Amino acid sequence: MSTSKIAGVDVSTEHFIDGKRVASKQTFANCSPIDGKHLADVSAGGAAEVDAAVAAARRAFPKWAGLGPDGRHRVLKKFAQAILDHGKELAAVETADNGSLLMGNLARVIPRAALNIEFFADRALKLGHDQIDSPEVVNHVRYDPAGVAALITPWNGPFMLTTWKVGPALAAGDTVVVKPPEWAPLTCSMMADLANEAGIPAGVLNVVQGIGEEAGAALAAHPDIDRLSFTGSTDTAKLIGQSTARSLTPVSFELGGKSPYIVCADADFDAAAQTAAGQYLNAGQVCLAGTRLLVDASVADEFHSKFRAAVGHMTVGDPREKSTRVGPLITPEHFKRVEGFVDRALKSGVKPLWGGKRSSVGELYFEPTLLEGARQDMEIVQREVFGPVLTWQTFRDEDELVKLANGTCYGLAAMVFSKNQERAMRIASRVTAGTVWVNCFFVRELAAPFGGSRDSGIGREGGNWSFDFYCDVKNIAVLKGSFA
């Protein structure tokens, strides 16, 4: 088996198909965004590897589905524990691979990944007990496993976001083929070994690495998948949707965002400023981030002062250091994309209140940036930058606020800061978004629905909404009095 030493951890660079490591003749280079260091040459799969993985998942499906929620629960609990047991290694590799903060991975990301597995394993035990009475029949609702699920995951949170899909899919009784992100595939490879260590049978969880246009496209177009869940860009989702439409494969898409961050005149400015500064975490590579600050004009100067002070603590640096709050962008290509957005905005007359250029820390480090003076129709307001770049706009009344907040093609999230409950709830109800956080940010309750509206996605996952997707929901209507 081909492995590479990453942050002191041996990580396989091969696919995981039908319980075995499988190499491809072709590879792709994987480099760390921290310093550009070459980490590994990773097997690059295509149609052949996808075919093999889907076939393995199909063969494994009857037995895995037949275990029932109780049988699967026992194995998945061991899987969750294996993640916790290897938390330090997973966190170190994730940081090396995608540049995310090491302390955040240790404290939040890895524990949450384990919880993603455990929560849905527990939740599945409660499914299928619903009865709906009517005058003539009793309706029995069943959640039957759907089959083979294709899971295509993003590079900005590869391990946590993969377990967010793997957890409910496996708990539902599906078998899965995971396509990790080519820019950060390594912890998904480790996940396969942990699943195997926990006793998940061969073929139930498969990992095919590769370039999106090759492995990802082959998986999306495969006629023998029953569900496809994708997190990533809106443009890629449109291509995937065209492929899955040929087989009428149900999809769940969690896509980009350009979320409004709303500060009302009666907000707690200290809390709002600290939380706003947090939008720069992970170098702004967070689809949920509130990248459009919308501030009541009557308090704009006061809040701006608080916000500037809070951003002063967002230290740019090596993500392995405890003091760092803003790490690198993922690749040189992505750095150029982020830099291009800012350069075009500046040439259009937009002014930087701070930042706006490469940090002196290193090649892929961009300064936390706030831009003022952009019109609503400008690219910098309308399109997702996916970097540490925020825009500043003000509003004078609630109608203007809602018009600005809803004035993009996205609808993933929003944040509202106000001490007035009636006002906060009224604004939240008028904003188009799958999730609206009031006086907080990034609190993800697994039992609650999660997803996007408009170009930010299709469907909802979380709680039973995940099982609505990963299961075939069946109703058995039994005529009353028809049995002796």
239 plus 266 within the same structural domain: no
Nearest-angstrom CA–CA distance, 55 and 158: 24
167 plus 202 within the same structural domain: yes
Asked, for residue 345, whether it belongs to a domain, the answer is: yes
Reported pTM: 0.95
Mean pLDDT for each 10-residue chunk of the chain (484 residues)? 92 97 96 96 97 98 97 98 98 98 97 98 91 93 97 96 98 98 97 97 98 94 97 95 95 97 98 98 96 98 97 97 97 98 97 97 97 97 98 98 98 98 98 98 94 96 96 95 85
SS3 content of the chain, % helix, strand, coil (to 5): 40, 25, 35
* Tokens read off for 299: 């308090």
360 plus 212 within the same structural domain: no
Compute the radius of gyration of the chain from its Cα atoms. 23
Catalytically active residues, by annotation: 254, 287
Asked, for residue 118, whether it belongs to a domain, the answer is: yes
* Tokens read off for 405: 């907040």
What are the residues whose beta carbons fall under 8 Å from the beta carbon of 236, sequence distance 6 or more? 212, 230
Burial 114-153 (b: 16+ CB within 10 A, else e): bbbbbbbbbbbeebbeeeeeeeeeeeeeebebbbbbbbbb
pLDDT in tens, 31-76: 999 999 999 999 999 999 999 999 999 999 999 999 999 999 999 9
Instruction: Taking the CA atoms of 406, 407, 410 and 412 in sequence, report the sign of the dihedral they define.
Output: negative
* Tokens read off for 480: 């009353």
417 plus 456 within the same structural domain: no
Asked, for residue 240, whether it belongs to a domain, the answer is: yes
Asked, for residue 109, whether it belongs to a domain, the answer is: yes
Count of CB atoms within 10 A of residue 103's CB? 17
Residue 187 is part of a domain; what is its CATH number? Answer: 3.40.605.10
How does strand 9-12 pair with strand 3-6? antiparallel
65 plus 86 within the same structural domain: yes
Task: Supply the range of the domain harboring residue 122.
Answer: 3-255+452-476
Structurally, the chain folds into a number of domains equal to 2
Nearest-angstrom CA–CA distance, 374 and 346: 9
* Residue pointed to by tokens 């040929």: 246
pLDDT in tens, 336-387: 999 999 999 999 999 999 999 999 999 999 999 999 999 999 999 999 999 9
Asked, for residue 444, whether it belongs to a domain, the answer is: no
89 plus 224 within the same structural domain: yes
| Contact assessment for residue 34 and residue 319, using Cβ atoms and an 8 Å cutoff | yes
Nearest-angstrom CA–CA distance, 207 and 17: 6
SS3 assignment, position 469 = helix
Asked, for residue 482, whether it belongs to a domain, the answer is: no
98 plus 145 within the same structural domain: yes
214 plus 268 within the same structural domain: no
Amino acid 128: pLDDT: 82
251 plus 268 within the same structural domain: no
Asked, for residue 483, whether it belongs to a domain, the answer is: no
SS3 assignment, position 303 = helix
Nearest-angstrom CA–CA distance, 134 and 167: 34
| Contact assessment for residue 227 and residue 61, using Cβ atoms and an 8 Å cutoff | no
Distances 27 to 42, 182, 295 between C-alpha atoms, Å = 5, 11, 48
Nearest-angstrom CA–CA distance, 93 and 34: 12
Residue 325 is part of a domain; what is its CATH number? Answer: 3.40.309.10
312 plus 268 within the same structural domain: yes
333 plus 375 within the same structural domain: yes
Asked, for residue 481, whether it belongs to a domain, the answer is: no
Phi–psi pair at 63, nearest 5 degrees: -70, -40
Instruction: Taking the CA atoms of 248, 461, 410 and 280 in sequence, report the sign of the dihedral they define.
Output: negative
What are the residues whose beta carbons fall under 8 Å from the beta carbon of 468, sequence distance 6 or more? none
306 plus 284 within the same structural domain: yes
Burial 71-90 (b: 16+ CB within 10 A, else e): ebbebbbbbbebbeebbebb
